Structure 1
Amino acid sequence: MFVDHRLAHRKAYLINLLARMCAELDITESRFQQAKERYEGVARWLAAGEHFLLHDLSIYLQGSTALGTSVRPIGKNEHDVDLVAFMPSGTTVWTPAYIKKVIGDRLKAHATYARLLEEKIRCWRLVYANEFHLDITPAILNLACRNQGELVPDKSLREWKGSNPRGYRKAFEARAALVPVIKLTKALDEEIKSRADIEPFPVASSGRSILCNFVQVAKRHRDVHFEGQDLALWPISVILTTLIAWSYERCVKAGVYDTEFDLMIAVLRGMPAFIRRTLPDGSPGWYIPNETTIDENFAERWNDDPDKAEAFFTWHAKAVADMENLARVDGTDLVRKRMDESFGPRPVGAAFTALDNEIASARRSGLLRMAPLVGLTATPAVAAAVPVRSNTFYGRDCG
């Protein structure tokens, strides 16, 4: 099996830069634990309220923080942490506006929460300045959903609409667990089999899935692309996450890729294939369903404003082109320039610094390896990695 190791080496460097950029944009573990402690405190306060709808209330994470695909907003030092306040006693007898008010009244009765509280259209927000804000959306059980989905308020607060954050998370995590077949891995496996002094390569586990990184890369590119434009045109995160997850599953199951970077390009290219042009009733319209519940169309706003769909496809073409061109760029300075343009200089600069420091440290200690699934890594635990010669990583002496 032929693998262009020089090109694979270059792409491994790129995928590692992107991974470290994602880590820079993500919520830190300490901040996550802080948010967890605070929303658990909110849950206890709400559940202790006298109103019967608050009895047995539970709060859980939804959205990007729950999935591990969080990206810090441009120009802000705080993350959005989306929560669901599930009320098992709630039914459609009560309007969304009333149930939302029950939650708001209870939060206002707490001195600290009242000071931090902001009312949004469908939820309540607790703002912890320069840290994060907690968006708390009320939800009740959706008896019509076979997957134990929920109902959440619509924008008017007059109607309930289907949702299933826990089911969505379960489906996403199942796809994230899929392991791609990379030619570089196979090539190294063949070398391992021919050498008695190398142990079999273990499954790589860094605590972050490939799929999560792909979603974060796309979301950050979107944020930079639309910076300064009408926020109403931005493709919402759940659309990017859903299309990338579906495309990732198809690519992993159907293809073999030279490198992880090539897989990312294939996944990005494949996103539009999962956008339907017919609604469930047979009428024309944009349709990206929530597969885990009924009557939820992530693209419903596209049908009200065609400019939203056009903005998505314009962004998508730019994202694919930028990533394809990045793989063709030769030299660290040009790579950094292109990445700055696509993702912003702050996280890119941090990624370069982190990776260069890791590589330099590993080279000094003789622990630098080329690992098949994650590219360059510094770890003595990877028994079947292949040593990398000094001064040959992408952007340095290899040109």
Structure 2
Amino acid sequence: MATLTRESEDFLEDLAEELSVPVSRYEQAERSYKSLGEWLHRDASTVREYGPQVYVQGSFRLGTTIRPLTEAENYDIDSVCELKKISKSHLSQKDLKELLGKEIKSYHDAQNMIKPVGEGRRCWVLEYADGAQFHMDIVPALPNAQSVRLFLEQSGHDARWTGTAIAITDNEVPTYPFVTDHWPHSNPKGYSDWFRSRTVVILERRKRKLAERIHASVEEIPDYKVRTPLQAAVMILKRHRDETFRDRPAVKPISVIITTLAAHAYNGEETTGRALVSILNGMDEHIAVVGGRHWIANPTDPLENFADKWEKHPERADAFFEWLARARHDFQQAARASDRIVIAEAVGQGVGKAVAERARQRRQSPVGSPLLKTASVAPAGIGFSFPDKERAPSKPQGFGEP
């Protein structure tokens, strides 16, 4: 067992800070989707009567966004535009996408945006000016809670998160041009509620402390101004993933898989280092095998498998386990060290030397400081302990064959 030293704990906290997105980016994202929402509610809007609601999804909603690898890369702000007062029985996916597309294009023109509106498989894309360094994907959606809840309950699955389920558009599915009840579905609000539930106690406690320090109410503190150990650990693992697969992007594990497994394996640890220990030790235990296939269930829809591409592309499954083994090795090397230079070198192999060096320099100690000579050991029982034998995922209770 490798001991998690105080110096490695501090370094991981500093690393998360280096990877974090400036608060201004979260505020920028918030201003952008609120501005679009206001446009859709203006008097002349063709969708105003349908109750449009624009909100952010993905890593910006979860608080796990990390800085791009290079300055040339953009932040990808994923958002949803849900028309609350219309249903799938009134229009097709194609109708919805075109209806919203007209308004997004008029918004683009009114804002004097230079780059043309792009169209993705499921969304419209607003490209902001080069200096802004971000673009916003807007997914058209309709409420879908009743359909998803009924389906899950009839299948004997947990339906507690379905109140915010949505139906979305996808121009590659056969039903795209037809009025039908069969739409692709998603639930970004439900997923973020589940993710938040895994760390809500620490989040609320940290928000209270911040509120006291700045003399504000807890309600005035947005979640993105407080980072929990789970969020920090996910950010570090995502950067390690990005560096590991810098030259093999086609097989790199997708963020929702890392985020879901990390949240399952997290056990309420109070620091980033301890959270990382728990997550790396246990995240593969939450990969099931159902009908001979790897299965990583969407917590808000147990019938959706985040690892569904692994069956057709087994190299992606191999890549995940390869990455997990490397992450365990890199962070285990760092965990037992008490010299920040040694820690930075070990972690830098996985997350990148430049960002690791910046993290190292955040707490420069004077030459000869005892901090560089004597390990500050975490309490007994805290450490990296990875199994020597390969774990075999098992089929969880309550899962039916898909």
| TM-score calculated relative to the size of structure 1 | 0.73
2:167 to 151, 154, 173: 151
Q: 1:143-172 CA deviation, whole Å, 9 max, x = no partner?
A: 223322112234615362221111111111
> CA 1:328–1:309 in 2, change beyond 3 Å: closer, same or farther?
same
Q: Which residue of 2 aligns with 1:135?
A: 137
Counterparts of 2:52 and 2:237 in 1: how far apart (Å)? 35
Contact 1:290 / 1:296 at 8 angstroms: preserved in 2? Answer: yes
Structure 2, unpaired ranges of 5+: 150-161, 177-181, 204-224, 376-402
Alignment map for 1:320-331 (pairs within 5 Å): 320-329=328-337, 331=339
In structure 2, distance between residues paired with 1:54 and 1:312 = 46
Checking the alignment, whether the CA contact within 8 Å between 1:162 and 1:294 is kept in structure 2 is no
Q: Does 1:87 align with 2:95?
A: no
Number of the residue aligned with 1:115: 114
Q: Say yes or no: does 1:336 pair with 2:355.
A: no
Return the match for 1:391 from 361, 366, 369: 369
Partner residue, 1:247? 265
Q: For 1:8-19, what aligned pairs fall within 5 Å after superposition? A: 11-19=5-13
CA offsets per residue over residues 325-359 of structure 1, 9 Å max, x none?
Answer: 22234533332222222111332222222232xx6
Give the structure-2-normalised TM-score. Answer: 0.73
Q: Which residue of 1 aligns with 2:126?
A: 126
Aligned partners of 1:54, 1:25: CA distance in 2, in Å?
42
Cα pair distance change 1:19/1:285, threshold 3 Å: same
Root-mean-square deviation (CA), in Å? 2.8
SS of the equivalent of 2:370 reads coil
Deviation at 1:294, TM superposition (A): 5.7
Task: Write the distance in 2 (CA, Å) between the matches of 1:324 and 1:46.
Answer: 51
Which residue in 2 is equivalent to 1:74? 69
Residues 74-101 of structure 1: CA distance to partner in whole angstroms, max 9, x if unpaired?
1245322111111113433433233222
Taking a change above 3 Å as real, the CA distance of residues 54 and 124 of structure 1, as seen in their structure-2 partners, is: farther
**Do 2:40 and 2:47's aligned partners in 1 also have CA atoms closer than 8 Å?**
no
Q: What is the identity percentage for the equivalent residue pairs of Structure 1 and Structure 2?
A: 29
Tell me, yes or no, if the aligned pair for 2:97 and 2:140 is still in contact at 8 Å: yes
What is the identity, as a one-letter code, of the residue corresponding to 1:167? G
Letter aligned with residue 298 of structure 2 = N
Quick one: structure 1 residues 353 and 305, their matched pair in 2 at CA, closer, same or farther if it must change by over 3 Å? Answer: same
| Structure 2 Cα separation of the partners of residues 321 and 213 of structure 1 | 19
**Who is 2:321 aligned against?**
313
Q: Secondary structure at the match of 2:198?
A: helix
For residue 392 of structure 1, report the CA deviation from its aligned partner: 2.2
Q: Is the 8 A contact 1:91 1:141 kept in 2?
A: yes
Written as runs of structure 1 = structure 2, the 5 A alignment for 1:168-179 is 168-178=191-201
| Pair 1:234–1:305, CA change in 2 (3 A) | same
The answer to whether 1:272 aligns with 2:284 is: yes
Distance 2:148 2:374 in 1: 56
- Partners in 2 of 1:248 and 1:141 — Cα distance? 31
Q: What's the counterpart of residue 346 of structure 1?
A: 354
Flag the 1:324–1:294 CA change in 2: closer, same or farther, 3 A. Answer: closer
* 2-structure distance, mates of 1:50, 1:266: 50
> Could you tell me which amino acid in structure 1 is paired with residue 285 of structure 2?
A
Q: Using the alignment, how far apart are the partners of 1:227 and 1:144 within structure 2?
A: 40
Amino acid at match of 2:81: A
Deviations 1:1-38 (A, max 9, x none): xxx9xx66xx2322322222222222211221122112
Query: Which sections of structure 1, spanning at least 5 residues, go unmatched?
Result: 181-205, 361-389
Describe the shift of the 1:348–1:316 C-alpha distance in structure 2 as closer, same or farther (beyond 3 A).
Answer: same
Structure 1 residues 160 and 19: CA distance shift in structure 2, 3 A: farther
Q: Residue type of the partner of 1:123?
A: C
Tell me how far 1:61 sits from its aligned partner: 1.4
For the pair 1:216 / 2:235, whether they are aligned, the reply is yes
Match of 1:200 in 2: none
The structural deviation recorded for 1:263 is: 4.4
In 1, the alpha carbon distance for the partners of 2:232 and 2:272 equals 11
| Alignment coverage as a number of residue pairs | 323
Distance in 2 of aligned mates of 1:65 and 1:53: 26
CA distance in 2, matches of 1:47, 1:304: 44
